[in-house]
């Protein structure tokens, strides 16, 4: 890391016998100093600031992972800036190499700092508390008294009061000392916190590698979806190691969908009755379906996958009866253009049945496009006044001609190809407002009937094999954090010196908090009171 070579004057390596070659020793020094620099607290601080700074554009600029339309809008609004930002990865901040570089360096710095500390802590756990300092009066907390008991009894008193402390007793001239230390869990919590961060990152990475997320629209009233491959989805975001061949092939069926609204149009609840078949049953050919009430905040969990209800909408059903008596019914989702009133827009497309002549087929395809209002305002211009299905009405244009379905390009299911209209290949042949049951007749005698409306639900299937691990590490992290912030590391010493031929004992106490949190004072006072005050007071009274 180049920055680390700039860190000011680390101690020069000792050109001793171990590194006889001067150049080698130079390289070694650079490596070692680089490592020291990277694992120093100061570097960790700088990396933390960089990480915070680097994440900010992720909140301030539109992100592809969240909303492609907003990114496109940014491109139209700021054409001079957007391409540069895009090249630098600012629309995919959390996938950008510079973002990854920062958190990976931070993780390396963390490992480099935490692993040696773990070893040190393990050693400290085995080590005896440090030798009692010669002059306890110099300690931040200090007290002494003479007790009217022998040294053995005094020592026993200290020992029993310091139960739970790590202790060492040593001979000291004519007397003895007790060294004690407590609060090892602070460092253990600190280490747990940092190690959990690494685990959390690994769990997160596992999800990004092996997880996937797919969205699909399913019709209410028995629409089915099986998780057999990517093609079944309307949109699919695969993890880096997911090719779609190994999905868990469970199936879901939306038997019923119901949305409730308050009088002001705000959504009250969305409820889907979902039947599902586990992957195991699907593969074994067992026709066993279970049911689940699918709601917001209440996903279906099956075979490690989760199925969510993300949204809903309406699909008007049209039946077209051609002059020769043939009928076709079309029911496809229309897209809500106003979430408050669920005014929807779409295009239901029909192929003329039984037409084998390509030329003729391309002049007689039909599309019913326009607006759908679940609760129509009535009148000539249809608009929606309420999101629930109270007074449905469609305002449609019937287009006839070439829909452009054969040119190999993908086409929106919500619109007809404007290019075909512009070229004259597709033309409007009728326009009408219809309520369910009403129909209109085209010039050639074809009848288009608006039959009714079906609900559809927008479902998401998610799979993230890392999320349980992330949760476990997050909980460990929190526990470690709590320990490291609440527990105080402190030392306590007692020196016992016999006086008056062993009849009495001088007890000197010293205390030192090893962390900067104040508050040891009170505990020391309690220790002092328990060890020195009570017996003395008792003695004086007698």
Partner 1 sequence: MPVSAELATFSDRLFVAAAGIYALAMIFHAVEFSAARAKVPVLVGAGAPDGAPEEGPVRSRPERFGRMAVAVTVLGAALQLASIATRGIAAERWPLGNMYEFISAISVAAVGTWLVVLRRSPAARSAGPFVLFPVLVLMALAGSVLYVPAGPVVPPLRSYWMSIHVSTICISSGLLVVAGVASLLFLLRRSGRLDGLAEKLPEADALDRLAYRITIVAFPLFTFAIITGAIWAEAAWGRFWGWDPKETVAFVSWVIYAAYLHARATAGWRTGRAAWVNVAGFATIVFNLFFINMVVAGLHSYAGVG
User: Which positions lie near partner 1, rule CB under 8 A?
Assistant: 41-42, 44-45, 48-49, 51-52, 55-56, 58-60, 63, 65-67, 70, 93-94, 204, 213, 262, 266-270, 295-299, 306, 308, 310, 460, 462, 464, 467, 470-471, 474-475, 477-478, 481-482, 485, 516-518
Q: How far is the CB of 56 from partner 1 (least distance, A)?
A: 6
Q: How far is the CB of 397 from partner 1 (least distance, A)?
A: 32
Q: How far is the CB of 160 from partner 1 (least distance, A)?
A: 30
Q: How far is the CB of 518 from partner 1 (least distance, A)?
A: 7
Taking the CB of residue 105, how many other CB atoms lie within 10 A of it? 19
**CB of 440 or CB of 483, closer to partner 1:** 483
Q: How far is the CB of 406 from partner 1 (least distance, A)?
A: 37
Residue 352's nearest CA partner among 316, 401, 395 is: 401
Residue 341's nearest CA partner among 384, 299, 311 is: 384
Q: In whole angstroms, give the CA distance from residue 56 to residue 17.
A: 51
Q: How far is the CB of 284 from partner 1 (least distance, A)?
A: 28
**CB of 3 or CB of 66, closer to partner 1:** 66
Q: How far is the CB of 297 from partner 1 (least distance, A)?
A: 4
On whether the CB atoms of residues 62 and 91 are closer than 8 A, the answer is yes
Taking the CB of residue 431, how many other CB atoms lie within 10 A of it? 11
Q: In whole angstroms, give the CA distance from residue 427 to residue 429.
A: 6
Instruction: Please report how many Cα atoms fall inside a 13 Å half-sphere around the Cα of residue 61, on the Cβ side.
Output: 25
Q: How far is the CB of 294 from partner 1 (least distance, A)?
A: 12
Q: In whole angstroms, give the CA distance from residue 66 to residue 192.
A: 33
Q: In whole angstroms, give the CA distance from residue 259 to residue 165.
A: 62
On whether the CB atoms of residues 520 and 511 are closer than 8 A, the answer is yes
**CB of 196 or CB of 364, closer to partner 1:** 196
For the chain, state the CA radius of gyration.
38
Taking the CB of residue 248, how many other CB atoms lie within 10 A of it? 17
Task: Characterize the bridge pairing of strands 223-226 and 490-499.
Answer: unpaired
CA angle in degrees (0–180, nearest 5) for 261-263-268? 25
On whether the CB atoms of residues 251 and 219 are closer than 8 A, the answer is no
Q: In whole angstroms, give the CA distance from residue 49 to residue 44.
A: 9
**CB of 287 or CB of 516, closer to partner 1:** 516
**CB of 131 or CB of 475, closer to partner 1:** 475
What's the Cα-to-Cα distance from 258 to each of 151, 216, 389, 411, rounded to whole Å? Answer: 83, 18, 10, 30
**CB of 135 or CB of 269, closer to partner 1:** 269
**Ranges assigned E (strand) in 435-476:** 439-441, 447-463
**CB of 197 or CB of 531, closer to partner 1:** 197
Q: How far is the CB of 320 from partner 1 (least distance, A)?
A: 37
Q: How far is the CB of 258 from partner 1 (least distance, A)?
A: 12
Tokens coding 460? 């998401």
Q: How far is the CB of 126 from partner 1 (least distance, A)?
A: 25
Residue 1's nearest CA partner among 146, 97, 102 is: 102
Please, which residues have CB within 8 angstroms of residue 411's CB and are 6 or more apart in sequence? 403, 404, 405, 417
Residue 167's nearest CA partner among 155, 181, 184 is: 181
Q: In whole angstroms, give the CA distance from residue 2 to residue 34.
A: 8
**CB of 352 or CB of 374, closer to partner 1:** 374
**CB of 267 or CB of 421, closer to partner 1:** 267
**CB of 41 or CB of 240, closer to partner 1:** 41
**CB of 124 or CB of 499, closer to partner 1:** 124
* CA dihedral angle for residue 145, residue 149, residue 153, residue 158, rounded to 10 degrees: -10
Q: How far is the CB of 295 from partner 1 (least distance, A)?
A: 7
Q: How far is the CB of 443 from partner 1 (least distance, A)?
A: 46
Tokens coding 506? 């001088």
**CB of 341 or CB of 348, closer to partner 1:** 341
**CB of 200 or CB of 373, closer to partner 1:** 200
Tokens coding 133? 């300092």
**CB of 28 or CB of 210, closer to partner 1:** 210
Instruction: State whether residue 95 is helix, strand or coil.
Output: helix
Taking the CB of residue 358, how many other CB atoms lie within 10 A of it? 8
**Ranges assigned E (strand) in 130-238:** 141-147, 166-172, 175-182, 212-219, 223-226, 235-238
Q: How far is the CB of 516 from partner 1 (least distance, A)?
A: 7
């Amino acid at each position: 890391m180049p920055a680390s070579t700039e860190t000011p004057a680390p101690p020069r390596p000792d050109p001793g016998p171990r590194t006889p070659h001067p150049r080698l020793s130079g390289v070694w020094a650079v490596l070692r100093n680089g490592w020291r620099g990277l694992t120093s607290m100061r570097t960790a601080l700088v990396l933390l600031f960089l990480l915070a700074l680097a994440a900010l554009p992720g909140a301030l600029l539109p992100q592809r992972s969240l909303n492609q339309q907003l990114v496109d809008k940014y491109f139209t609004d700021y054409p001079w800036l957007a391409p540069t930002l895009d090249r630098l990865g600012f629309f995919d901040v959390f996938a950008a190499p510079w973002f990854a570089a920062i958190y990976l360096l931070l993780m390396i710095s963390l490992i480099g700092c935490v692993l040696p500390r773990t070893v040190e802590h393990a050693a400290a756990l085995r080590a005896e508390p440090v030798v009692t300092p010669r002059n306890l009066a110099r300690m931040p907390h200090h007290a002494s008294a003479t007790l009217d008991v022998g040294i053995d009894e005094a020592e026993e008193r200290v020992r029993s009061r310091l139960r739970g402390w790590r202790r060492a007793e040593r001979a000291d001239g004519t007397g003895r000392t007790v060294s004690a230390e407590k609060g090892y869990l602070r460092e253990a919590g600190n280490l747990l916190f940092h190690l959990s961060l690494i685990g959390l990152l690994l769990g997160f990475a596992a999800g990004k590698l092996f997880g996937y997320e797919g969205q699909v629209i399913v019709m209410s009233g028995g629409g089915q979806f099986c998780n057999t491959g990517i093609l079944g989805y309307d949109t699919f975001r695969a993890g880096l190691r997911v090719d779609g061949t190994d999905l868990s092939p469970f199936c879901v069926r939306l038997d019923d969908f119901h949305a409730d609204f308050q009088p002001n149009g705000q959504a009250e609840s969305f409820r889907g009755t979902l039947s599902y078949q586990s992957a195991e049953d699907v593969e074994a050919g067992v026709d066993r379906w279970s049911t689940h009430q699918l709601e917001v905040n209440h996903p279906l969990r099956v075979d490690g996958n989760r199925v969510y209800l993300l949204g809903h909408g309406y699909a008007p059903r049209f039946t077209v009866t051609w002059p020769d008596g043939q009928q076709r019914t079309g029911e496809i989702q229309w897209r809500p253009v106003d979430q408050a009133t669920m005014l929807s827009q779409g295009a239901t497309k029909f192929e003329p049945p039984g037409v084998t002549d390509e030329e003729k087929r391309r002049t007689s395809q039909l599309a019913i496009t326009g607006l759908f209002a679940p609760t129509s305002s009535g009148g000539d211009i249809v608009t929606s006044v309420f999101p629930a299905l109270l007074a449905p009405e469609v305002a449609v244009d019937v287009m006839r001609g070439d829909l452009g379905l054969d040119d190999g390009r993908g086409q929106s299911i919500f619109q007809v190809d404007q290019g075909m209209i512009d070229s004259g290949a597709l033309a409007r042949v009728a326009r009408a407002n219809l309520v369910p049951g009403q129909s209109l007749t085209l010039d050639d005698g074809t009848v288009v009937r608006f039959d009714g409306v079906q609900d559809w639900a927008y479902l998401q299937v998610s799979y993230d094999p890392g999320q349980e691990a992330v949760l476990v590490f997050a909980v460990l992290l929190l526990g470690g954090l709590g320990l490291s912030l609440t527990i105080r590391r402190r030392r306590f010493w007692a020196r016992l010196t016999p006086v008056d031929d062993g009849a009495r004992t001088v007890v000197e106490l010293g205390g030192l908090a090893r962390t900067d949190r104040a508050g040891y004072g009170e505990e020391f006072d309690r220790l002092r009171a328990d060890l020195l005050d009570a017996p003395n007071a008792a003695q004086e009274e007698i």
